Amino acid sequence: MIFQKKADDLRAPEPGPERKKELRLFERTAGIRFRRTDLLNLAFSHRSFAHESSRNIGNNERLEFLGDSVLGLVVSEYLFSAFPDRTEGDLAKIKSFVVSEDSLAGIARGLKIDNFILIGKGEEFSGGRSKKAILADCLEAIIGACFLDAGFKKCRRFILQFMVPEITKVLENKHRQDFKTLLQEHVQKIFKTYPQYVLVQKTGPDHDKTFWMEVKIRDKSYGPGEGKNKKEAEQAAASIAYRELAGK
């Protein structure tokens, strides 16, 4: 089987008895069962863990690459079939929300993925277990591992069980909105210009910084918005500006 050979090439770490118990617990939470627990274990293996390991093991980045593509295909196919009256632009906007880092990180927390991630000591110290990027990437890696282990049909079922509720949130306007995009579209339409984001200050130690950003539109500044990274702070500033300008 071609997928079996490719999975072997990933240098998946073989889990011990205690780790197997942990992985089975995750499977019960996620409603999925792997034939190869070493492949699932690899999906949880962050590069920081692999770098610190004394064994020659891989990390989950290749699985993440595969899972990202499988996720995109499943969501696109579902939207295309479920909403025949929606335009391409509408479908693209819905997809962009549900496969965003924010959305995937929220799903990962719901599946308690943060409890099972294997990360290095340095990354653990800096709060890596709760970082949105690491959680979202790990979820995509699990999707990639599921595709290799069980095939497209079962992987599609696994994906849709948590993506359909996210799609419903978007349709009911209950999702976390991308205020940077909303603000840019509004400012372009009204003022024929673009918002500019400026870092006001950053505080805290390197492993736990807080950023403060303002957004400038023509000759007026809005904010500042606060976040644990620049993207979060920009979103917060954009939210302030958009709500004021659009009267939301």
Helix, strand, coil percentages (3-state) for the chain, rounded to 5, are 65, 10, 25
pLDDT of 62-76, one tens digit each? Answer: 999 999 999 999 999
All structural domains of the chain with their residue ranges: 2-171, 179-246
The residue annotated as part of the active site, out of 68, 137, 214, 234, is 68
Spatial contact of 239 and 222, defined as CB atoms under 8 Å apart: no
Q: What's this model's pTM, rounded to 2 decimal places?
A: 0.73
Pick the CATH number of 179-246 from 3.30.160.20, 2.60.40.10, 2.40.10.10, 3.40.50.1820: 3.30.160.20
179-246 shares the fold of 2-171: no
Distance CA 145, CA 37 (A): 10
Element (H, E) at 90: helix 88-98
The residue annotated as part of the active site, out of 38, 137, 140, 214, is 140
Quick one: fold of 2-171?
Ribonuclease iii, N-terminal Endonuclease Domain; Chain A (1.10.1520)
Q: Is 68 a catalytic residue?
A: yes
Residue 13: predicted pLDDT: 79
Residue 248: predicted pLDDT: 59
pLDDT of 129-173, one tens digit each? Answer: 989 899 999 999 999 999 999 999 999 999 999 999 999 988 887
Cis omega (within 30 of 0) on the bond before 224? yes
Spatial contact of 157 and 146, defined as CB atoms under 8 Å apart: no
Best CA proximity match to 131, nearest among 231, 226, 32: 231
Q: Is 61 a catalytic residue?
A: no
Q: Does pLDDT of 224 surpass 60?
A: yes
Q: Which residues contact 62 (CB under 8 A, 6 or more apart)?
A: 10, 144
